[in-house]
Amino acid sequence: MPNKNYVKGANFERQVKKKYEEYGYLVFRTAGSHSPADLIAFPPLRNIKEWQPILIQCKNTKKVYLPDDMKELKSVAEEHGLRAVLISKRNKKPNLVTWIVKE
């Protein structure tokens, strides 16, 4: 049986996936891959001028330390010209979305 933290994290990833799908994104969950992103979201083609896939890291934890949590995700996103997002949920509070934007 999976541990409690895995189940909590996987459920949160599914919630985030569903929300992006409601906005028309095609979303893949990378469960068990140990990749820097938990989800990869592809925007709908109706927005072709701004079409850019998004790497999403989901954190459902008491502590989020952005420099460590975003380091690998940011590196992969920059290397491939993608956007990256960290979505965190702490202690049943509203989700916090942090966008990484190229300067």
The more confidently predicted of residues 88 and 84 is 84
Residue 41's domain spans which residues? Answer: 4-100
**How do residues 45-59 score in pLDDT, each as one tens digit?**
876 667 788 999 888
Q: Per residue in 61-71, pLDDT tens?
A: 776 666 666 78
| Strand spans (E) along the chain | 26-29, 39-42, 54-60, 83-89, 96-100
- Number of separate domains in the chain: 1
Query: Would you mind telling me the total number of residues written for the chain in this entry?
Result: 103
Q: What is the CATH number of the domain that holds 26?
A: 3.40.1350.10
Q: For the whole model, what pTM was predicted?
A: 0.81
**Rounded to the nearest 5 degrees, what angle is found at the Cα of 13, between the Cα atoms of 72 and 9?**
85
Q: Are 36 and 67 in contact (CB under 8 A)?
A: no
